[in-house]
Amino acid sequence: MTPPQRRCLRSVVRGAGAYLPPTVVTNRELAERVDTSDDWIVQRTGITRRHLAGEGETTSTLALAAAEAALRDAGLSGADIDLVIVATSTPDYTFPSVATQVQAGLGMHGGVAFDLQAVCSGFVFAVATADKFLASGSHRRALVIGAETFSRLLDWEDRTTCVLFGDGAAALVFEAEEGEGTVHDRGVLTSHLRSDGRHCDKLRTDGGPSATGTVGQVRMNGRDVFRHAVGMVTDVVTDAFAITGLTARDLDWFVPHQANRRIIEASAEKLGIDPAKVVVTVDQHANTSAASIPLALSVALADGRIRRGDLVMIEAMGGGFTWGSALIRW
Ligand code: UT7
C-alpha cells in the first residue's frame, strides 16, 4: 500500500453512456458477402456479431448520442462541462474535430474540445489526458468519448480485416474531486501510456489527407499485432500495479480493449486475473477501436457488475503501436 500523500485532485467518474447503431450483422450474414465462416471468426476472435452505422449515422452522431446518455446519467448538461475529448480514428471529416461537432450538438460554447487519435488505445489515452487536465485544477468536468465508424474504413473484400471491426460510441463524465492521495480514493489512481513508432506500418490505413488525398482502408498484419499485444498490455498493467502497490487480487474488474478474445484471455492469465473478473464484449460488439472499452464499461455498469468503490483496470493496445492502462476506483 502506498503511504498517504498530500491531498490531491482525483478525476472521479460521475456518469456513463453508450450508443450502438441498431443495424446488427452476424458472422453468418458476413459469410454471405466474403469468403469466411462463423466457425473461423468465433474460433480465432470470439466475435459473433457487430453493429454497423447506417445511412445518416456518422462518428459524430454516435458520439453525441453517447455523450447525451452519459450526461443524463450524471445529471448534468453540456453547460456543466469544460473539457470534451473524443478518441477516434474515424472522424466525420478531416476537420472540424468530432469533439467540436459534439460540443455544437450539446449547445456548448465554453470550455475546450478536441479529438485524440491513438487508434484502439485512444480511450485510455483520452482518460489519461483528461485526468491530467482535471488533476492540474485547470478544468473541472470532462466528457471523454470513444467513438468510431470503422466500417467506413474497411475493405469489404479483405476477409482478414473486415470481419474484425464494428461501430459504436460510449462516454464517461469525470469530475475533479479532492482525494487523500491514497489508493482508497475514488477516481483515476494512475495511468501509463506508451508508444513505439517502429511498429507504425503493422496496423495502418493505406490513405490519408496528406499522403493520398483519400481516406484509405485498414491494412493489418494481424499475426504481428497479435504477437506484440499480450506483452505490451501486461507491461503497462504491471506498471499500474507497481506504482500503486496493488495486485491482480485487488482488482474488481478487468476491462480490456476488445479486439480478440484470445488476446484478452492470454493477458488476464499472464497477469493472474481471475477470469470471472474479466469483462468481455468482443463477442457482441467486435473491435470498435477507441469505443470498445467504454462500451464494455457501459455493459458492466448496466448489468450491475461495476459498482461505486470497485477497482477497475482498463488497458488497450493499437496502431502505432500505442498502448496504455488506467486504474480507476469507481
Ligand atoms: O485492436 C488492436 C489491433 N487488432 C488486433 O489486436 C488484432 C490482432 N490479431 C488478431 O486478432 C489475429 O491475428 C487475427 C484474428 C486477425 C487472425 O488470427 P490468426 O490466428 O493470427 O490467423 P492468421 O492471420 O494466422 O490466418 C490463419 C489462416 C490463414 O490461412 P492460411 O495462410 O493458414 O491458409 C488466413 O488466410 O486463416 C485465414 N483467414 C481466414 N479464414 C477465414 C484469415 N482471415 C480469415 C477469415 N475467414 N476472415
* Distance between Cα 287 and ligand 1 center (Å): 14
By the 8 A CB rule, do 298 and 17 touch? yes
Q: From the CA of 161, give the closest atom in ligand 1.
A: 16
What's the confidence (pLDDT) of residue 7? 73
* Judgement on whether residues 175 and 201 belong to the same structural domain of the protein: no
Q: How many domains does the chain have?
A: 2
The sign of the CA dihedral 57, 63, 68, 69 is: positive
- Where in the sequence is the domain holding 75, given as residue range(s)? 8-179
Give the alpha-carbon dihedral of 145, 16, 14, 85, to 10 degrees. 0
In-domain check, residue 2? no
Which are the contacts of 109, defined by CB distance < 8 A and separation ≥ 6? 103
User: Is this structure's pTM higher than 0.95?
Assistant: yes
Of 182, 193, 178, the closest CA to residue 11 belongs to 178
Averaged pLDDT in 10-residue chunks for the chain of 330 residues: 69 98 98 97 98 98 98 98 98 98 96 98 98 97 98 97 98 98 97 98 97 98 94 97 98 98 98 98 98 98 98 98 98
Q: From the CA of 292, give the closest atom in ligand 1.
A: 1
Q: 27 CB under 6 A from ligand 1?
A: no
Q: How far is CA 268 from CA 45, 54, 235, 310, in A?
A: 16, 35, 12, 18
Q: How far is CA 94 from CA 67, 168, 176, 203, 208, in A?
A: 21, 19, 31, 20, 9
Residue 325 burial (C-beta neighbours within 10 Å; 0-12, 13-18, 19+)? buried
In-domain check, residue 3? no
In which region does residue 56 sit, left (phi positive, over 0), alpha (psi from -120 to 50) or beta (all else)?
A: left
* Judgement on whether residues 203 and 284 belong to the same structural domain of the protein: yes
* Judgement on whether residues 200 and 318 belong to the same structural domain of the protein: yes
Give the CATH number of the domain where residue 229 resides.
Answer: 3.40.47.10
* Judgement on whether residues 135 and 274 belong to the same structural domain of the protein: no
* Judgement on whether residues 306 and 209 belong to the same structural domain of the protein: yes
Pocket test for ligand 1, best of 25, 44, 89 (most atoms within 8 A of CB): 44
From the candidates 51, 192, 199, 257, give the one annotated as an active-site residue.
257
